[in-house]
């Protein structure tokens, strides 16, 4: 007759329960020994620290076991994927579809076909347009006024003596007229012993009037002018 105990799960797992009970009592015994040791040495803090280390150690062991199981699962998954990849790599790839034939160009209308060609006519027309534009550019450039170089002068005109009429001297200087000469402001500047000199400004065009020509023309008024000096010279 079959024993009814074979249907009892607790009886089949008796060994597991015995191991768990043994580990429990070993842990309790270890704690008791540590407590006794600490009590004999008079240090309860050491006992608490050792107990916490033991618990931490047990937690680390469980974590390691969990990580080991995860690693085993990953390795199994990786092996399965490699096997699937090798099976796919050995299969024959599907043939590529043949490219569609290119469409033939539509036949050109006979009226649009230039049998004799018009490239020469186009070249002549482009040449005419180019020449016309060059002529227009040359005409536009010729109408542009050329840059005129000018200079600004300040002249010191000295009389013979203090009896010289300075107004007549200035009038004599301003009576000099040249193309490209423009007289400016003037003033009397004292020299010594009651003698004054005429300081006058002038603007000249460099191509038409030279400084030497202007000074010689002023010194040509011998009745009033003794000498002429250039006090300042600036290009405009």
Task: Enter the pTM of the model.
Answer: 0.40
- The pLDDT of residue 13 is 63
- The reply to whether 216 falls in a domain is yes
HSE at residue 118, side-chain half, CA atoms within 13 A, is 6
Does some domain include residue 16? yes
Name the domain count of the chain.
2
Q: Is residue 230 included in any domain, yes or no?
A: yes
Range of the domain at 29: 10-72
- Give residue-wise pLDDT tens across range 146-193: 677 899 999 999 999 989 999 999 999 999 999 999 999 999 999 888
Digit-coded pLDDT (tens) for 16-73: 777 777 887 877 777 666 666 655 555 567 777 888 888 888 888 888 888 988 888 8
Q: Is residue 54 part of a domain?
A: yes
Percent of the chain with pLDDT strictly greater than 70: 72
Write down the residue that tokens 């170089």 correspond to. 149
Domain end position, chosen among 28, 43, 72: 72
Q: Read off the pLDDT of residues 94-122 as tens digits, 9 standing for 90 and up.
A: 555 555 555 555 544 545 545 455 566 67
Residue 51 forms part of a structural domain: yes
Q: Which of 19, 50, 72 is the last residue of a domain?
A: 72
Please indicate, yes or no, if residue 96 is contained in any of the structural domains: no
Q: Kindly report the CATH number assigned to the domain that includes residue 163.
A: 3.30.70.60
Each residue of 195-216: pLDDT tens digit? 999 999 999 998 899 999 999 9
Measured between alpha carbons, how far is 125 from 223 in angstroms, rounded to an integer?
73
State residue 204's pLDDT score.
93
Is residue 85, in this structure, part of any structural domain at all? Answer: no
Of 22, 55, 72, at which residue does a domain stop? 72
């Amino acid at each position: 007759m079959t024993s009814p105990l074979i249907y009892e799960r607790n009886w089949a797992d008796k060994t597991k329960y015995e191991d768990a009970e043994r580990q429990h009592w070993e842990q309790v015994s270890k704690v008791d020994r540590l407590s006794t040791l600490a009590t004999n040495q008079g240090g309860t803090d050491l006992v608490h620290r050792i107990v916490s280390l033991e618990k931490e150690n047990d937690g680390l062991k469980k974590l390691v076991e969990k990580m080991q199981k995860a690693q085993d699962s990953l390795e199994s998954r990786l092996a399965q994927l490699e096997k699937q990849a090798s099976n796919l790599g050995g299969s024959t790839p599907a043939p590529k579809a043949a490219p569609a034939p290119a469409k033939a160009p539509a036949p050109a209308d006979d009226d649009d076909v230039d049998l004799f060609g018009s490239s020469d006519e186009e070249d002549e027309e482009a040449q005419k347009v180019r020449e016309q534009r060059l002529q227009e550019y040359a005409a536009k450039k010729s109408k542009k006024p050329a840059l005129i170089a000018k200079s600004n002068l300040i002249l010191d005109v000295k009389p013979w003596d203090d009896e010289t009429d300075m107004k007549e001297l200035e009038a004599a200087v301003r009576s000099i007229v040249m193309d490209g000469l423009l007289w400016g402001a003037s003033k009397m500047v004292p020299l010594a012993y009651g003698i004054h000199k005429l300081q006058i400004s002038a603007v000249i065009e460099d191509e038409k009037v030279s400084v030497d020509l202007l000074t010689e023309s002023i010194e040509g008024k011998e009745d009033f002018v003794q000498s002429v000096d250039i006090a300042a010279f600036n290009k405009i």
